[in-house]
């Protein structure tokens, strides 16, 4: 009787086990075929080893970079001071943005010019409410750029259903609409054109950098109160001049921010409001080979930002500095930092050695609570460094223990309230790779069957 009851469970277990085996074989055969067509070894499971820039003194920049129209925000005294109040009222007419600071200071700017300030004759005794939030929150308008936690899309362009190298389920327009404010991606230079490829363009090619930036630029034109950060992964260590063309032709040049100095310390960054009013709302960083003497607007990442361990496979998500290596604690505390929270598993076949997203654990990894969750990691980092991460780098941002859980974590770090009804792409847009969830389900069922069988 008991044996008869076990037969259906065992049959299901065998069927799932066979399905998993078939799925793994299909993926392996696909990657093996790919490996035959790739002339060089694909190794995405190692930490990049590019050169790191060290500045011994602070240099003050001008607007003489090669990208025409990129103008530095002028900073005098304490950067960001007296620029915009948290309770400011903001109105727009045509291309002009005007902010009224409770009757005390008026700041006007547009898409191409710096902000100017004039004093109002009579201060207002009644505070007013800002009707135009900065990056979604009125509270951010008077905060320094360095005092805000943002959700960052790891490998933002890599949206390709069924591809093991994909990192997102929803494209960049969904990402921006939902609240992602850092877009990170990997580039490859092929015959003079910059492409967006994951490890190899034979593995996943998301098109040209120019096309991607054109989409981002069009979104920014329609959203004048948003600051977007772009982090370029220069996989081939290409010369920085290769990136000027895509930025100019895409139109992003109209929005490129030039810092007033290099490197920018934690307290040197302007407020989000002043960046918005300047019209220069696209902050562009590059991990390797940046040259801010030649291109002041193309900011060197690691002289101004540090990162926790790259492509983590450890669910403990340690919050130590990995890049740049050897950075002293005292120096780390003067820079922005990225918390890498995109959990990976290593996949090896033929001459392919890849780290791919651990899709089986996404609900836990992107959760706001629990061991190994984004919320748990962010709390640990905040305790370790006495301030929250500036950027939370995640895969499949729309997946979590509830819709928008990654934004809930960022809101908690920012001490603001997140509207859970504002997000996201449907949970059904989670990755559908059977390599992960099906395998785990089958293993759990088989283990359950074995435990059940052992009790009889």
Which residues are catalytically annotated? 154, 198
Best CA proximity match to 253, nearest among 75, 153, 112, 60 = 112
> According to DSSP H, which parts of 242-324 are helical?
244-249, 272-278
Q: How far apart are CA 29 and CA 21, in angstroms?
A: 12
Give the whole-angstrom CA distance, residue 114 versus residue 98: 12
Contact criterion met (CB below 8 Å) for 224 and 175: no
Rounded Cα distance, 52 and 55, in Å: 10
* Spatial distance between the Cα atoms of 263 and 370, rounded to a whole number of angstroms: 37
Q: Which DSSP string corresponds to 167-213?
A: --SS-HHHHHHHT--EEEEEEEEETTEEEEESS-TTT-EEEEHHHHH
Quick one: which of 267, 192, 180 has its CA closest to 223?
180
- Residue 105 bridge partners (DSSP): 101, 119
Chain Cα centroid distance, residue 256: 18
Burial degree of 372 (CB within 10 A; 0-12, 13-18, 19+) = middle
């Amino acid at each position: 009787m008991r044996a008869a009851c076990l037969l259906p469970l065992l049959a299901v277990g065998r069927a799932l086990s066979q399905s998993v085996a078939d799925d793994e074989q299909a993926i392996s055969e696909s990657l093996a075929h790919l490996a035959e067509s790739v002339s060089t070894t694909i190794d995405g499971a190692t930490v990049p080893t590019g050169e790191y820039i060290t500045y011994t003194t602070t240099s003050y920049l001008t607007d003489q970079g090669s990208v025409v129209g990129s103008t530095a925000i002028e900073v005098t005294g304490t950067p960001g001071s007296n620029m915009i109040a948290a309770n400011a009222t903001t109105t727009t007419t045509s291309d002009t943005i005007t902010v009224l600071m409770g009757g005390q200071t008026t700041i006007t700017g547009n898409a191409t010019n710096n902000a100017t300030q004039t004093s109002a004759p009579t201060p207002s005794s009644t505070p007013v409410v800002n009707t135009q939030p900065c990056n979604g929150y009125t509270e951010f308008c008077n905060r320094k750029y360095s005092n805000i936690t943002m959700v960052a899309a790891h490998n933002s362009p890599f949206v390709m259903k069924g591809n093991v190298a994909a990192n997102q389920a929803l494209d960049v327009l969904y990402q921006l609409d939902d609240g992602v404010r850092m877009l990170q991606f990997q580039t490859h230079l092929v015959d003079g054109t910059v492409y967006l490829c994951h490890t190899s363009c034979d593995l996943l090619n998301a098109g040209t950098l120019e096309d991607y930036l054109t989409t981002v630029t069009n979104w920014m034109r329609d959203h004048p109160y948003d600051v977007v950060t772009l982090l370029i992964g220069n996989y081939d260590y290409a010369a920085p001049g290769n990136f000027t063309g895509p930025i100019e032709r895409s139109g992003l040049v109209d929005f490129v921010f030039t810092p007033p100095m290099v490197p920018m310390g934690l307290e040197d960054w302007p407020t989000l409001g002043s960046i918005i009013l300047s019209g220069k709302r696209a902050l562009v960083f590059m991990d390797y080979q940046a040259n801010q003497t030649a291109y002041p607007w193309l900011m060197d990442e690691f002289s101004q930002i540090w990162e926790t361990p790259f492509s983590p496979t450890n669910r403990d998500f340690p919050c130590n500095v990995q890049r740049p290596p050897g950075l002293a604690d005292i120096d780390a505390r003067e820079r922005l930092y990225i918390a890498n929270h995109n959990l990976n598993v290593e996949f090896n076949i033929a001459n392919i050695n890849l780290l791919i997203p651990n899709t089986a654990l996404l609900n836990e990894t992107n959760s706001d609570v629990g061991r190994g969750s984004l919320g748990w990691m962010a709390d640990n980092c905040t305790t370790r460094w006495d301030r929250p991460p500036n950027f939370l780098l995640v895969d499949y941002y729309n997946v979590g223990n509830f819709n928008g859980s990654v934004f809930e974590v960022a809101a908690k770090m920012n001490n603001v309230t997140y509207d859970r009804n504002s997000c996201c792409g449907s949970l059904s847009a989670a990755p559908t790779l059977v390599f992960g969830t099906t395998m785990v389900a089958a293993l759990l069922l088989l283990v359950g069957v074995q435990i059940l069988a052992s009790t009889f």
